[in-house]
Structure 1
Amino acid sequence: MQHLEEQIAYLTRTVDELNEIVTSQQSDIDLLKRRVQMLMEREAQREAEGSGGAIFGDERPPHY
């Protein structure tokens, strides 16, 4: 009986630790989703304004 109680205590502790890890990871995922959404909105706004172009080495800048 004592062996089963020890196993239950160990499993309970393991579940609690895993729950804390999953909760922390979910918070991180939520934060990253918000940041990605913000970046997507910022890039969409930049494209809508027409100022999102990149100048590559073989292209002439627009003022030439």
Structure 2
Amino acid sequence: MLHTHPEPELIAVDQACLTSTNDLPEPPRPQWTSDELLGAGDEAHIVHRGDVYRLRRTLTGKLILTK
């Protein structure tokens, strides 16, 4: 005896109803200027997971972050 399985049911889906997490707007992220971080000086220390990082402004105005 031959056993047959029913065909899978096809369902029409309106693509406009589908959303992806990529379609959602990103929440606003905190933002600071380098002047806010460095103040009047050219160096700031940032503690991340117990490690201290040094953010400094070079003579040419670039930023360097080192551990």
Higher alpha-carbon Rg: 2
Structure number having the greater strand percentage = 2
Bigger relative contact order, structure 1 or 2 (CA pairs below 8 A, ≥6 apart): 2
Q: TM-score, normalised by structure 1?
A: 0.27
More helix by share: 1
With the length of structure 2 as denominator, give the TM-score of the two structures: 0.27
